[in-house]
Amino acid sequence: MRILGCDLGTKTLGLALSDLSGFLASPYQTIRFAEDDYEHAAEQLMDVLAKEKVETIVLGLPKHMNGSLGTSAQRSLDFRDLLAEFTDLPVILEDERLSTVAAQKSMLMAEMNRQKRKTSIDQMAATMILQGYLDRLRSQRG
């Protein structure tokens, strides 16, 4: 079963894809779109969903540290609603607090150069979001 992780920004949508067993998340690609043109992002995402035979979408929900929702979280909620117009696949919202920070630390530890970090950060954040979801699923199954 393929699961796609998504990290939504104002101009990019970082993607990560699970392996077929649903055990490991890997960076996939970054979709770029004009600022706030989420419909174009969703259209591009449909190609990925079909190509990779994705069954579930995990979309990062950027909460504040106190758990409240701000404008970035609202952007994710609105994008989830937009995706419902394009596909019947389930879209699961996953708390993504600190995913970008963790992705940056991981890339720094790997001694990735600045340019590579800049082009990979969205995919790495999506990978962190998806891996967190996959790990939680496994622990719930017991």
Q: Which domains are present in the chain?
A: 2-141 (3.30.420.140)
Long-range pairs of 86-92 with CB within 8 A, sequence gap ≥ 24: 86/42, 86/43, 86/45, 86/46, 87/46, 87/49, 87/57, 89/49, 89/54, 89/55, 89/56, 89/57, 90/56, 90/57, 91/57, 91/58, 91/59, 92/56, 92/57, 92/58, 92/59, 92/133
- pLDDT greater than 70 at residue 20: yes
Residue 140 confidence class, pLDDT cut points 50, 70, 90 = confident
- pLDDT greater than 90 at residue 31: yes
Please give the average per-residue pLDDT across 101-107, as a whole number. 54
Greater model confidence, 112 or 15: 15
Please give the average per-residue pLDDT across 64-86, as a whole number. 89
